[in-house]
Structure 1
Amino acid sequence: MSVLETILISSLTSAFALVYYAFRQLLKEKSKTKAELEQNKRDAFKKMLDEHSELVMNIFHDKPLKDWQKDFSEMSKSILSWGSDDVLSEYGKYAELYYTDGAPIKERELHFASAILAFRKELGYKNKKGIITPEQIIYIFRCGHNKNI
């Protein structure tokens, strides 16, 4: 075997090893990101259950109403950030029926809702048309800031 062949084989072996290592690192990072996403979803789900349990049972664990409202607002933000398309769709319908104060939706709110949907798309959600509407996003956001819950 000539020196040139030896150098070529060594170079190819090194290149293969680098590609293999980079691929393994990419898979490891993707797995870590997916695990973090799942944990965020679980946390948002727990917040939703906790806050609505308190609402339904009218038990606020001896915390002032203002603190509970703040927690409820945070829960709404978590749902908007981490809830799946189906979660947003159903919770949006719930929020519309339960918390609607009759205030008409303003055009600027629709732009805000569209921005939230755009961010969610960047996070990897599909935001399926016909399943999630900007109006539902607005109702979810409003219910998180409704002082008359």
Structure 2
Amino acid sequence: MQYLHAALTETLRLYPAFPVDTKLCFSDDTLPDGPSVNKGDTVSYLPYAMGRMKFIWGDDAEEYKPERWLDRDGFFRPENPFKFTAFQAGPRICLGKEFAYRQMKIFSAVLLSYFVFKLSDDKKTINYRTMINLHIDGGLHVRVFHR
């Protein structure tokens, strides 16, 4: 399940469920890179864009590459949650993170063992709509076949 965990994490790096996240400052503070924020200020960050930044992930940042999450022995190697922000970080890290991974793994294992999924039109461009969560514009049309 190490590779599956890496594949799911890589998917979340490129396609986070929440592509934009906003926080409200409860007190005056200074951000890690220096800017000051005041009580009542709103601070937003973009996990969708951060997952594609070359200075964070390297020159292959836009490539889907689950191997980036595996060490040389094939074991999953997590990144700092402030770098991989799909589940947030620090005191606000998602309490359901491990449960979410467990659910994704179970569903993936069961569905992929019984079915094959193919795009209905593999030539069609897939566009995303940023809302509260990430949507595929017009849906993702797939065909499902029994194995």
Q: Normalised by the shorter chain, which TM-score bucket?
A: under 0.3
Structure ranking higher in strand proportion: 2
Return the TM-score normalized by structure 2: 0.21
Higher helix share: 1
TM-score calculated relative to the size of structure 1:
0.21
Q: Which has the larger radius of gyration?
A: 1
